[in-house]
Amino acid sequence: MTPLEKVEALFDELVTHYGEAEDREVRAAAKLLLVALDKFKTHGGVNWSGLVDEYVQMATQDPERFKRVVHGNRGPTDSFIA
């Protein structure tokens, strides 16, 4: 599995973990986001929050580009689309 497929599988596992809880998909996504933010903070250097802001801005202002970035690296030979 590619890294993206592994993350998507983990998301599905988290959704299952939350069972019949209200907003279980949002809870699963929030857990992944919290872990990702922690990793950005730990490994992203002094401007880690600026990088996060760029991704949030892209998600809200250019959803098609954001979708390409998220799904652009599905396979080991795919190139990054920015």
**Does the residue 31 lie in any domain?**
yes
| 22 lies in some domain | yes
pTM of the model: 0.77
Task: Give the confidence band of 77 by pLDDT, cuts at 50, 70, 90.
Answer: very low
For residue 3, is pLDDT > 80?
A: yes
Amino acid 74: pLDDT: 64
pLDDT digits (tens, 9 = 90+) for 34-63: 999 999 999 999 999 999 999 999 999 999
Query: Do the domain assignments include residue 62?
Result: yes
Q: How far apart are CA 27 and CA 9, in angstroms?
A: 15
Q: What is the pLDDT of residue 20?
A: 93
Residue 20 lies in a domain: yes
Query: Quick one: which H or E segment has residue 57?
Result: helix 48-61
Range of the domain at 22: 3-71
